[in-house]
Structure 1
């Protein structure tokens, strides 16, 4: 049942709602075996001067170690961090990637998406949803496999752009690519009146190797792009800057370092961009995107979620009252669906009864939900 819908914002808009500067709340690391550890064990350090021109981004492809994409992690890592000292106060809790999709939706004309939302203890939790049994999902997995080398080059660029340098390998190489390894920041922010609590992977920081976490102002996002050698390639790059800007803006990352490579994967050059200057750079190049519609749409969508989803919180409805430890109330699940060039609709999927060993509403770990409801705690 549809409960609300929103069209895309018009071209002429007033100043957008303010986006509060993100504040770092906590960090956690995925180790080489994908094990979780609080803190900065997987934090990488940016190489002064960046990756070296001439670096071969195809190097090490056959030795790479890849995370098992079949394992669905949902919001598990973020909930794990929140349950061990992280702060969370109302509004919307999600990954940076979900907010990026919503922000860039006004300028997305090809790919739709669907997210799932539910309310718990005063907050709305939001994550992407994909039907892994559908033909579309199977096709995407096959398509991704065909482009494995191109995807790998982005990780290889990170290996060349960070230190310390490995004992073996070409100059500047910091070691075998292992996509299990991630360093995640959890930040507190707000868009207009809606508080936000976002988690996201951060590539590296500026600072001496081994020094403590220097904070958000020293973080760097690493990207790769094909060498721009035509007007068409320039237009494609200017369009990509929208996503680069949104991703870094949301987490408070001030710098985006882009490596420009040949089709064969040889790094020709690199350039550092200040996140705050990307919209003006895109505008000068003739790109059709601007920040105002992005921020207006993000504010409108999140306000709709808080307005429509939060009243189904079991703490609000009383469904959590009188439960014994180990029991959980039903979860009221919603679907947020985006159609390119049209907008979003919010659909109520009704209540789901939690089953032992399953995520609450298919999204949240049961022990995290129990902790939020005062019915137990994370181990």
Structure 2
């Protein structure tokens, strides 16, 4: 029997937003240029430095985001990676803390080794849950330039204003924590449909628009802080082969309402350097590409623009990314200018415009859904979380009665059981 979370009567989520805990990174991981996981490694961290164009004497020059498309080193994302990168890194982090406990360090106690949270998932899972929006936008074009690690909080945060959003996720409960992954088979089927749709006349293919996003990232970042890079490093970026194998992913503690969260997600770059003080906010930069906006005085164009802002805001808000750099392009992929958006100001900007979505409703709905989730996904088994396009509810159906399915690795569960045993033994000694 399905449990449902109602998405009608959104006015019940209006008003001031519920409490939010500022995201704080506590560990991270990288994928290298072969997409090999490197837990607690920052080797794939990039540093923002905008591309140089439009300078005096070169006003007519515009970077061609299509350049090098045939040489693109595109990662094969057909294998189902589940939560493996996140869980392997959590295990490495906890094992490093455990080693300090065994070494007699007084500042770490065994009860603090296991990372505790009500929900652990990818950032992308949560961004999809936010209220329904006017649906005459060219959705395929919008998705073409979105580059995200697997969609739950992104899904949840945007579902209320997104009639086009549909998703399936798998959830399981282990040691009191709900773990959520994307349903890979459903994602693969949806991607096949998207990639086989014919582009509008005069519009680039989905593959090309996705490439434009990666190309913009390539020409906008450096492999190290600016002071450590040569002039050749900066000027040669347009000639680099675009490669989406390397990734830097941040893992943060955060919370919405009464629900504590551990989220992981890819971040594009840092502005300047990461601060050494872990309590200090990190100046992350999110990089986006978009077609040049039309006349925003026209309601139709304004709605299209605000729909994009919803996704930009949701994706950056959850990991605490303060700034978004949007590379605007011509229809044939030439970069024209770069605009800077401050994540925290986007909801106010929309409120002064067409008011097509409300950030407080997004947050309050997400908080309510997380409460619903915690009371539904309890005990052994696997649940399917789904929402159909234009659907008025999110459904949870139990699809496996025992175990945790393929959501959790057996090695991770054994590691967590070992930690639980050490916690119990320490409690009995006191």
Checking the alignment, whether the CA contact within 8 Å between 2:285 and 2:322 is kept in structure 1 is yes
Once the two structures are TM-superposed, the CA of residue 343 in structure 1 deviates from its matched residue by 2.0
Greater helix share, structure number: 2
- Which residue of structure 2 aligns with residue 147 of structure 1? 206
Mapping for residues 40-79 of structure 1, pairs under 5 Å: 40-47=42-49, 49=50, 52-53=53-54, 54-79=62-87
Consecutive unaligned residues of structure 1, counting only runs of 5 or more, are 313-330, 354-359
1:222 maps onto 2:287 in alignment: yes
Q: Secondary structure at the match of 1:106?
A: coil
Per-residue deviation, residues 102-132 of structure 1 (Å, max 9, x unmatched): 0111101123212111001221001221435
Aligned counterpart for 2:338 among listed residues 266, 270, 275: 270
Give me the TM-score of the superposition, normalised by structure 1: 0.84
Aligned counterpart for 1:297 among listed residues 365, 370, 385: 365
Give me the whole-angstrom Cα distance separating, in 2, the residues matched to 1:265 and 1:133.
27
Mapping for residues 235-274 of structure 1, pairs under 5 Å: 235-274=303-342
Per-residue deviation, residues 5-48 of structure 1 (Å, max 9, x unmatched): 3334523623221111011110110000011112210000000x
- Which residue of structure 1 aligns with residue 36 of structure 2? 35
Give me the TM-score of the superposition, normalised by structure 2: 0.75
- Which residue of structure 1 aligns with residue 351 of structure 2? 283
Give me the whole-angstrom Cα distance separating, in 2, the residues matched to 1:272 and 1:174.
25
Per-residue deviation, residues 243-283 of structure 1 (Å, max 9, x unmatched): 11011110000001101000111111111111000111122
Pairwise CA RMSD of aligned residues?
2.9
- Which residue of structure 2 aligns with residue 328 of structure 1? none
Checking the alignment, whether the CA contact within 8 Å between 1:335 and 1:349 is kept in structure 2 is yes
Consecutive unaligned residues of structure 2, counting only runs of 5 or more, are 55-61, 95-113, 129-155, 200-204, 224-229, 421-430
1:19 maps onto 2:20 in alignment: yes
Mapping for residues 62-211 of structure 1, pairs under 5 Å: 62-85=70-93, 88-101=115-128, 102-131=156-185, 136=190, 138-143=192-197, 146-164=205-223, 172-173=237-238, 175-207=240-272
Checking the alignment, whether the CA contact within 8 Å between 1:40 and 1:213 is kept in structure 2 is no
Per-residue deviation, residues 304-353 of structure 1 (Å, max 9, x unmatched): 111121x30xxxxxxxxxxxxxxxxxx50111122435121221223246
Give me the whole-angstrom Cα distance separating, in 2, the residues matched to 1:213 and 1:41.
19
Give me the whole-angstrom Cα distance separating, in 2, the residues matched to 1:2 and 1:118.
15
Distance 1:243 1:204, change over 3 A: same
